[in-house]
Amino acid sequence: MADKPPRRPRAETPKGFRDYFGAEVTDRKAMLDRIAAVYHRYGFDPLETSAVETVEALGKFLPDVDRPNEGVFAWADEDEGWLALRYDLTAPLARVAAQYRNDLPSPYRRYAMGPVWRNEKPGPGRFRQFYQCDADTVGSGSVAADAEICAMLADALEAVGIERGDYVVKVNNRKVLNGVMEVAGLAGEGKDTERGIVLRAIDKIDRLGPEGVRALLGEGRKDESGDFTKGAGLSAEQAAVVMGFTTAKRDTGAATVARLRDLVGSSVVGAEGADELEAIASLLEAQGYGPDRIVLDPGVVRGLGYYTGPVYEAELTFQITDEKGRPRNFGSVAGGGRYDGLVKRFTGQDVPATGVSIGVDRLLAALRAKGRRTGEAAGPVVVTVMDRDRMADYMGMVGELRQAGIRAEVYLGNPKNFGNQLKYADKRASPVAVIQGGNEAASGTVILKDLILGAKIAESATLEEWKDRPAQVEVPRADLVAEVKRMLGQ
């Protein structure tokens, strides 16, 4: 029996992980750079924590109430106990805010951008490594901090290319909901279970719709699979008060606040929530952020179960076509709010914080849907190799082009088959190929092939329209840079 060759490793990413090539990298980078410039102008400082944390510092759970059991990637370290990859950028912020509490300015405004990891079952479009982009203000209880983040979010969306009118930042407040619960008779210690059910139900309104939520406020709800979820057992009147909260939006901020004041009646916390919303609206007004950009909208309920005060969400209002060809609103691309106890796990002290997270992949998809690609995707000018012995000449050409700021390459594969060189230029999305054979070299010229025009001619039935613009010109070698610039429209 002959020896078997050793089995070769498979060249594959693990399931749920992927690679990003070329413009996928630069488009995202360009978008994040623009967001970072806005955050910088607002006085936020960048923070880059390590990807690896102790499991102890990280905590073993995600903050989102919907998925408390989602896992992290963790392993036992010889010296340090259990280590894990961060699952978001908030848990590391909590650790940093505690670890450096004597050194950091207070309040501490920071932004963070980078990959996070989730040990979840991968699915279509659902990856186990993805980017997050967060901004938080730690150590300020003032609603001015919330208002500031809403304004910054609006500015960031415009900075990346979402036009005014194509987005709206909606603001709500958990305290108003607490007031509404008081009115509905759900306050007090004995009502923990009911309040929990109401919070979880409200938080799922996007998925279940108003009918589903109303069912969960009452007797309960049977889902498609037939499973029954027990409801909060609220009376019709109680449920109406809670549901009234989610539909309290009126034409103006003032009218919305008035409606909320009606709903929360004499509840102290509810009135506080309404005051906060009013204050946020007036602070934003003072900076020129009108309701065309930021609105009070009690219909925003996502995260109300998690946050403790103001909650905000950025929605893109333009329509896209879904996979079935139906138009629908693009929807949410960012969300956040105020939360207590960021560092309490570490220090025992309550530190107020408020912050926003932009959905990097969703916002990128929105920019693509709008035809805004911000990264540099231009292919290089390709200098072909007709004569292997004159490589120094070709590298001289490419050097001149690069000196002039033009992206350019010399073909570095086997030059024998010229067709392969043009195929290569095509794969590189090259706009111009430079060709110099023996004849051209002797007469001191180069041939420039307009590959974009060439591709158009190949596609087009009416050659007529191109006849005035030759797809190929022979120019003096000395004019190489100037002529390439002209062809590139520079």
Residues 329-368 interacting with its own copies (rule: CB under 8 A): 343, 345-348
Q: How far apart are CA 316 and CA 135, in angstroms?
A: 19
Piece of 204-212, 298-306, 392-400, 462-470 that binds its own copies (CB under 8 A)? 392-400
| Contacting its own copies within 33-92 (CB under 8 A) | 40-43, 45-54, 56-57, 59, 73-75, 77, 79-80, 83, 85
Q: How far is the CB of 289 from its own copies (least distance, A)?
A: 8
Burial 459-488 (b: 16+ CB within 10 A, else e): eeeeeeeeeeeebeeebebeebbebbbebe
Q: How far is the CB of 242 from its own copies (least distance, A)?
A: 32
Q: How far apart are CA 79 and CA 54, in angstroms?
A: 11
Question: Do you find a cis peptide bond into 46, omega within 30 degrees of 0?
Answer: no
From residue 267 to residue 286, the character string flagging contacts with its own copies as x (rule: CB under 8 A) and all else as - is: ---------------xx-xx
Q: How far is the CB of 415 from its own copies (least distance, A)?
A: 9
Grouping H, G, I as helix, E, B as strand and the rest as coil, residue 235 is coil
Q: Does 227 bind its own copies (CB under 8 A)?
A: no
Q: How far is the CB of 465 from its own copies (least distance, A)?
A: 31
* Closest to its own copies by CB, 55 or 187: 55
* Closest to its own copies by CB, 211 or 389: 389
8 Å CB contact between 376 and 28: no
Q: Does 462 bind its own copies (CB under 8 A)?
A: no
The pairs formed by 58-67 with CB atoms below 8 angstroms and a separation of 24 or more are 58/84, 58/86, 58/87, 58/91, 58/92, 58/95, 59/91, 59/345, 62/87, 62/88, 63/88, 63/90, 63/306, 63/339, 64/306, 65/199, 65/200, 65/203, 65/305, 65/306, 66/203, 66/204
| Contacting its own copies within 129-148 (CB under 8 A) | 129, 137, 139-140, 142, 144-145, 147-148
8 Å CB contact between 38 and 135: no
* Closest to its own copies by CB, 21 or 463: 21
Q: How far is the CB of 316 from its own copies (least distance, A)?
A: 23
Residue 297: how many other CB atoms lie within 10 Å:
23
Q: How far is the CB of 130 from its own copies (least distance, A)?
A: 10
* Closest to its own copies by CB, 231 or 310: 310
Piece of 407-415, 439-447, 455-463, 474-482 that binds its own copies (CB under 8 A)? 407-415
